[in-house]
Amino acid sequence: MTNKWASDLSKLDGVVHLALSCLAPLPKLIMVSNFTSANQADHAFMGTGTIAEMYDGMACSDGGAESGRQMTPLFQDKARGQVIVNLMRTGGGGYPWRYNISRYSGLITRGQDDAVLFLRTGESAKIREAITYCPTTADTTKNVCCPGPFCSSR
């Protein structure tokens, strides 16, 4: 897919942000937001969904291991607010090998319903709160959105 759309990859620059956990040589969160070639973009996208992928000379995997306790990598530049999709609160459980097509389909439908609710009302399904908004004023230094003055100790 990255080869097919190689001429348009630069349109993703600063718009799509991918989080990778890379060994550099110690584990480090790498945020990819510039797409310079089909090969570079391919390795970045593959890294978000694989156990091990080489990216920029480093062994990488999805960004969860370095993205804070909720596995939600957050912007640190304070240039924009961020919609956070917390995959740990989707209600899907943690054992993907126990899924079948019905469970996958139900999880996708629930996610779409949650997204529609959030986009229409700014609210998340109260049971899960899987989708939230983090304003630019929030403390995100630990990759957890802390919008108030008393939550930084969490």
Query: What tens digit of pLDDT does each residue of 119-147 get?
Result: 899 888 766 678 888 999 998 888 888 88
Task: Determine contact, residues 32/20, Cβ cutoff 8 Å.
Answer: yes
Asked, for residue 1, whether it belongs to a domain, the answer is no
Please tell me whether residues 22 and 60 are part of one structural domain: yes
Please tell me whether residues 55 and 87 are part of one structural domain: no
Between residues 34 and 111, which one has the greater pLDDT?
A: 34
Strands (E), the chain: 18-23, 27-32, 53-55, 58-62, 82-85, 131-134
pLDDT at 98 over 70: no
Burial class (CB in 10 A: 0-12, 13-18, 19+), 71: middle
Given the structure tokens 């060994």, which residue do they identify?
A: 23
Please tell me whether residues 79 and 52 are part of one structural domain: no
Please tell me whether residues 43 and 78 are part of one structural domain: no
Q: 0.75 cut: is pTM over it?
A: no
Question: What's the CA gap between 45 and 130, in Å, rounded?
Answer: 23
Asked, for residue 153, whether it belongs to a domain, the answer is no
Q: How far is CA 48 from the centre of its chain?
A: 9
Instruction: Give the structural domain span for 47.
Output: 6-66
Q: What is the pLDDT of residue 154?
A: 41
Asked, for residue 44, whether it belongs to a domain, the answer is yes
Q: Name the average pLDDT for the chain.
A: 83
Please tell me whether residues 61 and 77 are part of one structural domain: no
| Residue 153 pLDDT class (50, 70, 90 cuts) | very low
Q: What is the pLDDT of residue 36?
A: 93
pLDDT at 96 over 60: no
Please tell me whether residues 134 and 79 are part of one structural domain: yes
Please tell me whether residues 61 and 74 are part of one structural domain: no
Element containing residue 75 per DSSP (H, E): none
Which of 17, 44, 66 is where one domain is finished? Answer: 66
Question: What's the CA gap between 47 and 2, in Å, rounded?
Answer: 14
Question: What's the CA gap between 55 and 60, in Å, rounded?
Answer: 6
Given the structure tokens 């995100």, which residue do they identify?
A: 140
Please tell me whether residues 90 and 135 are part of one structural domain: yes
Per the structure, the count of domains in the chain is: 2
Between residues 58 and 126, which one has the greater pLDDT?
A: 58
pLDDT at 23 over 90: yes
Task: Determine contact, residues 59/23, Cβ cutoff 8 Å.
Answer: yes
Q: What is the pLDDT of residue 86?
A: 79
Q: Which range among 31-40, 107-116, 128-137 has the greatest average pLDDT?
A: 31-40
Q: What is the pLDDT of residue 20?
A: 92
Please tell me whether residues 40 and 13 are part of one structural domain: yes
pLDDT at 149 over 80: no
